[in-house]
Structure 1
Amino acid sequence: MAIVLLSIVLVTVVALLAAVGAGKLARMDGATYPAAPPRAATTFAAVPTLATTTAAALATVRT
C-alpha cells in the first residue's frame, strides 16, 4: 500500500514540475498569460496518462 501511495505522489510531483516547465517555456516562446495555462494543463494531464499507460504495459509484460 505504501508503494502505491508513494508512486502516486511521485507522479503528481513530476506532473507539477512538467506543467510549470511547460508554462514557463510557453511564456518564453511569446505566449500571452491567458494562453500559457492551457499548455501547462495539457502537460499536467499527459504525465499521469503516460505513467498509467507505461504501468499497464509493464504489467502485461510481467504476467
Structure 2
Amino acid sequence: GVGAALVRAVEDAARALGLSAVDLHAQTHALGFYERLGYTEYGPEFMDAGIPHRAMRRAL
C-alpha cells in the first residue's frame, strides 16, 4: 500500500497546484499497478535506460 499512498500524495499535490491531470512514464512490468490506480496508457512503448516504458495519464 505504500506505493499507492505515494502516488495519491503526488496526485493531491498536483490538485493543490490546480493541475487537471497527471502524466507518468511507467515501466511496462508496472502497468497493472498504475491501471489499478486509474491511469490509462497512451502512445507507443519506448525504451528508457534500456527498460521498456509506456506513457500513462490520469485525470484529476
**Which interval holds the TM-score relative to the shorter structure?**
0.3 to 0.5
Which has the larger share of strand? 2
TM-score normalized with structure 1 length: 0.36
Which has the larger share of helix? 1
